[in-house]
Structures are given as C-alpha cells and as structure tokens.
Structure 1
Amino acid sequence: MQITRTRSETRQGPAENFTGQVWLDEVAAPAAPSRLRVFSVHFAPGAHTAWHRHPHGQVLYVTEGEGLVQRKGGVAEVIRAGDTVWIEPGEWHWHGAGPRTFMTHLAVVEAAEDGTTAEWDAHVGPEDHPA
C-alpha cells in the first residue's frame, strides 16, 4: 500500500487538444506494471476536448456541473454530476462543459504499452458543439 500526500501541480489543458479554459490534475499514475491513469479535469463553460480516442477506452465520472459528450456520428448528450460514461476502445469522441456551466469529471484510462493514453484529432466544429 502507498499513500501519496503530495500532488502534482494543476496544469492547463494544451490548446492543441482543448478549446477554452481547461485544467488538469493527475490524481493517480501508479508505477509499472500498472498502466492506470486518473485525471480530474475541470472545464470552464463552453470548454471541451478536441476529437480523440483511447487505446483501451475511457471511463468518465462527472463530479460537478453539467456537460456534453459525443461520439463520432452521434448526437451530443448531456451529462451531469453523478453520471458515468463508458467510451469504447478506439471510439472517436469529445467531451466538455455545457455552454453556460462548469463541469468537472474524473477521467480513467489505461495507457497503451508505449505509454500513450490518447490519440488526438481535429478540434470540434460548431456543427457538433452547441454554443
């Protein structure tokens, strides 16, 4: 067992992967052989990810606020505090805050053997994100 009492500094989500103000806190990244990664992600109103996918899928657990999630080819769906979203391995998607609300979620992923947790693509266009 290991208890970690220090945490890494909050960092801003990079502009190439996010639209708007997004802050990331790495909650857990156990040593190998574990490939588990857990992040707390805080989105300002209207902020969201670019299109991306995860090699082993992703679990989102909304802890605060209201947001949106959309799979490629689907419609944007509202998610709220207490909701859990399972995103299939390789499924292109985006997620973020609603247009007028903050949203925070825990993002749980398993890294690929090369250490990557996501493959990033284009920013979400206005046709997909309700402003």
Structure 2
Amino acid sequence: MEATIFDRGSENTAYAQYFVGQSYLKMLTTRGVVIGNVTFEPGCRNNWHIHHAASGGGQILLCTAGRGWYQEWGKPARALKAGDVVEIPAGVKHWHGAAKDSWFTHLAVEVPGTDTRNEWCEPVSDEEYQRLDTAAQS
C-alpha cells in the first residue's frame, strides 16, 4: 500500500453492505463540509449510488494515492490516480473504487446542499469490473 497523507482509519463497517471488498474510513470533518478519507483494498469498489439534493449537493473526489476507477451510469469508466479530481453533480448515478491490483485512496467531499441524501443501488458485478481492468491493460 502506498503512503497516504491522512490516516487510513478503521474498517468501514458502517457502510460495508454497500461495498464489494474491504474499505477503510477516517472522517476528517463532519462540520460544515463533510470530508472522509476512504481507502479501498485492491479490487474493492462501492455500489452504484446517487447523491440526491433539492439544490446544491453532489460529491467531489480528491484522489490521493494508488489507482482506481470512477464510472457514471451509461458512460465509460475513467481510470484514476493520485492528483485526479472528480466532480460528481447531484442526481448522477455512479461508482468508484480501486483497480484490481492497487490500493486506492481518495478524499470524499460532500458538497453542501438542501435536502441531501444518498441512494445506494446495485453492486458493480464482478463481470463488469473485470472487463474494466482487462480493457485498460490492452
């Protein structure tokens, strides 16, 4: 595992049902702008999900270590590395996680909004996920 700026945190048991594989969570702040340091073991990814908001809302990912993936519903996956930034508007169905052969860490920044909530959807299947890594290696 690559060195990270922030502590990896504890096993992410509170949200484990929404992940394939093991993730770790260290909340950096829960006041004002909520920011969590999320670390994914190789092959770990979260389920498809949507950040809803009446206004504002969404999420920003600040990638800090390793290699990972981000994908919006109906679009090709985007490979991620340290230094990448992903802006996710409210209402966009998406997932993110580690490459199959790399740990991956990002800061998850919740964009403030009105009436914000997350909707967790189906897992990213092993078949879908394996196709991403195979395509990236060609």
Residue in 1 aligned with 2:26? 25
Q: Unpaired runs of 5+ in structure 2?
A: 1-6, 134-138
Unaligned runs of 5+ in 1: 1-6
CA contact (8 A) 1:11 1:25 kept: no
Contact 1:76 1:128 in 2 (8 A): no
CA distance in 2, matches of 1:71, 1:39: 21
CA distance in 2, matches of 1:96, 1:82: 15
Matched residue type, 2:126: P
1:125 equivalent in structure 2: 125
In the TM superposition, what is the alpha-carbon distance from 1:78 to its structure 2 partner? 0.3
Match of 2:4 in 1: none
The structural deviation recorded for 1:47 is 0.1
Q: Secondary structure at the match of 1:128?
A: helix
Q: Does 1:52 align with 2:64?
A: no
Matching of residue 42 in structure 1 with residue 43 in structure 2: no
TM superposition shift of 1:115: 6.2
1:99 is displaced (CA, Å) by 0.7
Q: Which has the higher helix share?
A: 2
Task: Give the Cα–Cα distance (whole angstroms) in 2 for the partners of residues 72 and 127 of structure 1.
Answer: 16
TM-score by length of 1: 0.81
Other structure's SS at 2:42 match? coil
Q: Residue type of the partner of 2:42?
A: P
The 8 Å contact of residues 60 and 111 in structure 2, kept in 1 or not, is answered as no
Give the aligned length: 119
Separation of aligned partners in 2, 1:113 and 1:58: 13
Residue equivalent to 1:98: 99
Amino acid of the structure 1 residue aligned with 2:90 = P
For the residue of structure 1 that corresponds to 2:129, the secondary structure is: coil
Distance (whole Å) between structure 2 residues aligned to residue 22 and residue 68 of structure 1: 14
Q: Give distance in 2, aligned partners of 1:78 and 1:126.
A: 17
Question: Residues of 1 paired with 2:70 and 2:116: CA distance?
Answer: 25
Identity of aligned residues (%): 35
Residue aligned with 2:34, SS: strand
TM-score by length of 2: 0.78
RMSD (Å), alpha carbons: 2.0
**Residue 49 of structure 1 contacts residue 94 of structure 1 at CA under 8 Å; is this kept in 2?**
yes
